[in-house]
Structure 1
Amino acid sequence: MNKTIKVAVALSAAGVLALTGCGSDSGSGSDSDSINVVGYSVLEQANTEVIKAFNDTDAGDGVDIKGSYGASGDQSRAVEAGQDADEVHLSLEPDVTRLVDDGLVDKDWKDNDTDGICTQSIVVMVVQKGNPKGIDSWDDLAKPGVGIVTPNPASSGSAKWNLLAAYGSVLADGGSASDAEAYMKSFFSNVVALPDSGRDATTAFTSGTGDVLLSYENEAILARQSGTDFDYVIPDSSILIQNPCALTKDAPKAAEDFMAFQKSEAGQKLYAETGYRPLVDVGDVEVDGANDPSNPFPDPKKLLTIDQDFGGWSEANDKYFGDGEDGNTLGILTKIQAESGA
């Protein structure tokens, strides 16, 4: 993972926290000059510059890219229900798997150089300026009087990454599964808001709700680039967030070209500008808004991964987030959340 990424960024102060949700109901995969991208909420601002740069290439010249952004689970269900999509760029793998199961995305969507990933980040703790409550560890989040803001796992992919990072922090410190469950009970007792999406959670926190926001690192960096005055902490233990992207079966050639650009050095550098940890080497540059612009993406002491530490999403989604419907078992974290009343 690159540790020396540098990029200077000029962004609109209003843009990062705007909930524009630029939905599009027109256009289809049959139009070779139009692409419908359906993405998770936090991606919207980053995609703006990536799309502009793609349109400046030969492959992207004249291609009209329409975007719809919202909570990842809701976006996935919308595509399943018929929303036009040529590319889906969502928060986590199960939201793409739903579309594979529905016959909208090919089963081999992960058979490529990035294993189906377009962007990546880690979970960080966003705190009020000056960190008045001294929050710097997962243990601090379970202390009395600490108000936590995190999205709702029923709708948001970001929420699932956050909760696995919290649960996994106990395992990373040598604790047992029982210890982790006990910790999560204290964690949920401190949750003061469960907004629908990662972007909604940022808005709630910057509007004065809570003492700490669990968030994508890139969301924290982008907000600070846009003038939001808060701090963020990289805890000793975090989880590698990997956001999948896939084409629908009837996607035009232009959509293939756009995805190739997203994964290229040029595309990944643009994503790095808004705080994503790049998939490829993008050179020795700085990232404004990072705690250390010359070393914007330091590795935490322990970086969990969904595959190595939780058995992959095919196992983890039901085990931790199962909803108990259709005969399925209620997930570990779903049950704890329900019992907490959060």
Structure 2
Amino acid sequence: MSACNQAASEQGAGSSSDVRLLNVSYDVSRDFYKDYNVLFAKDYKATHPDSKVKINQSHGGSSKQALSVANGLQADVVTLNQNTDMNLLVKKGLVSADWQQAFPDNAIPYTSTMVLLVRKGNPKQISDWSDLARAGVKVVMPNPKTSGTARYAFLGAYGFGLHAFKEDPHSEHAKTDDYMQKLLSNVVTYDNGSRAATTSFLQRELGDVLITTENEAHLVAGKYAKGQVELIYPSYSIQIKNPVAVVTAVTEKNGSTEAAKAYLDNLWQDDAQELMASMYLRPSNPKILAKHKDTLPDITTFEATGVFGSWETIMDTFFVDGGRFDTLAQSPAS
């Protein structure tokens, strides 16, 4: 990882200063960053042999995490899953307005998508988003009011409806709204975050299907509940972009800006990108992604902003109090 070399030249190789960083992140990223922190600490130590490296993590629903930082949680870096969460920190003066230009790929080191996780044998024969609106199918998902991942889940299902019914999101789309009312009426719990929803599905044994991210579904199917669940790829789903940024208002005060930047820079190094792929995140490096097609297959996805408009428009349309999510979730299914 070469990014640490820049920090070394500016801070002085062999600096005796200890490095302590707090990464405030969304909940289903914890497994990746737990292992990534080891990679970073090893590399940083190689260029700063007298330093001690300590990376602390905080995880939860992406929007709740961003709000915690806005309210004073002293994050050095934020690794979230939605641009609006980052924009909140820009408005608070905590993150630089040009954060997307600070790193490659508009500061998106990896992407993901929404998939469906079902019980072993798929007893309800669920194969696509449309099946989640059938009578008798019980759905588990996080709460779009607190979880960025849940917003992707809602928008993924909504975007599928528009695509399937060939309806324009900016005009009448009665068929899609009817389908979404039925789907949301099947939701048995709205948890605060994705990992909490996973717990409800696995440990509380709620629901027939869990709407979750691709990486979380793979980890559950291959590790936490091996042999108990099956992963279903929808025919058409949403792309999740996971932005990262240095919280400059904190790092400039703490003197940790260079280490924080190195921490995020290194996400684009090959070993970190390979780690992402091994943990079922889609690395931004296309060559590394192509090497993992057996576990990260080509899929048909859409971008939320390409269908629904800017994230500000999306939030104002769907997720404010009294917005379309509230209307559809509270309306009786026909």
Q: State the TM-score bracket (shorter-chain normalisation).
A: 0.7 to 0.9
User: Partners of 2:150 and 2:174 in 1: how far apart?
Assistant: 21
Q: Which residue of 2 aligns with 1:274?
A: 279
The alpha-carbon deviation at position 314 of structure 1 amounts to: 2.5
- Root-mean-square deviation over aligned CA pairs: 1.9
Normalising to structure 2: TM-score of the pair? 0.84
Q: Which residue of 2 aligns with 1:232?
A: 231
Residue number among 312, 323, 327 corresponding to 1:331 in the alignment: 323
User: Partners of 2:99 and 2:329 in 1: how far apart?
Assistant: 33
User: Partners of 2:130 and 2:41 in 1: how far apart?
Assistant: 46
C-alpha contact 2:132 2:183 (8 A) present in aligned 1: yes
Deviating runs (4+, > 6 A) in structure 1? none
Task: Identify if the C-alpha distance between structure 1 residues 340 and 248 changes in structure 2 by more than 3 Å, giving closer, same or farther.
Answer: farther
Q: Which residue of 2 aligns with 1:180?
A: 176
User: Partners of 1:340 and 1:154 in 2: how far apart?
Assistant: 20
C-alpha contact 1:128 1:212 (8 A) present in aligned 2: yes
C-alpha contact 1:60 1:258 (8 A) present in aligned 2: no
C-alpha contact 1:60 1:257 (8 A) present in aligned 2: no
Structure 2 gaps, min length 5: 1-16, 168-172, 252-256
The alpha-carbon deviation at position 296 of structure 1 amounts to: 1.3
2:313 is aligned with what amino acid? E
The alpha-carbon deviation at position 278 of structure 1 amounts to: 1.1
The alpha-carbon deviation at position 338 of structure 1 amounts to: 3.5
Aligned residues: 297
Q: Which residue of 2 aligns with 1:138?
A: 129
Larger mean CA deviation between 310-319 and 97-106 belongs to 310-319
C-alpha contact 2:221 2:231 (8 A) present in aligned 1: no
C-alpha contact 1:39 1:72 (8 A) present in aligned 2: yes
User: Partners of 1:340 and 1:153 in 2: how far apart?
Assistant: 19
The alpha-carbon deviation at position 38 of structure 1 amounts to: 0.2
1:213 aligns with 2:205: no
User: Partners of 2:260 and 2:307 in 1: how far apart?
Assistant: 33
Task: Identify if the C-alpha distance between structure 1 residues 106 and 284 changes in structure 2 by more than 3 Å, giving closer, same or farther.
Answer: closer
Larger mean CA deviation between 55-64 and 126-135 belongs to 55-64
Could you say which structure has the larger radius of gyration? Answer: 2
C-alpha contact 1:71 1:157 (8 A) present in aligned 2: yes
Normalising to structure 1: TM-score of the pair? 0.82
Identity of aligned residues (%): 32
Greater fraction helix: 2
C-alpha contact 1:72 1:156 (8 A) present in aligned 2: yes
1:259 aligns with 2:264: yes
SS class of match (1:43): helix
Structure 1 gaps, min length 5: 1-30, 287-293, 324-329
2:35 is aligned with what amino acid? E
C-alpha contact 1:148 1:213 (8 A) present in aligned 2: yes
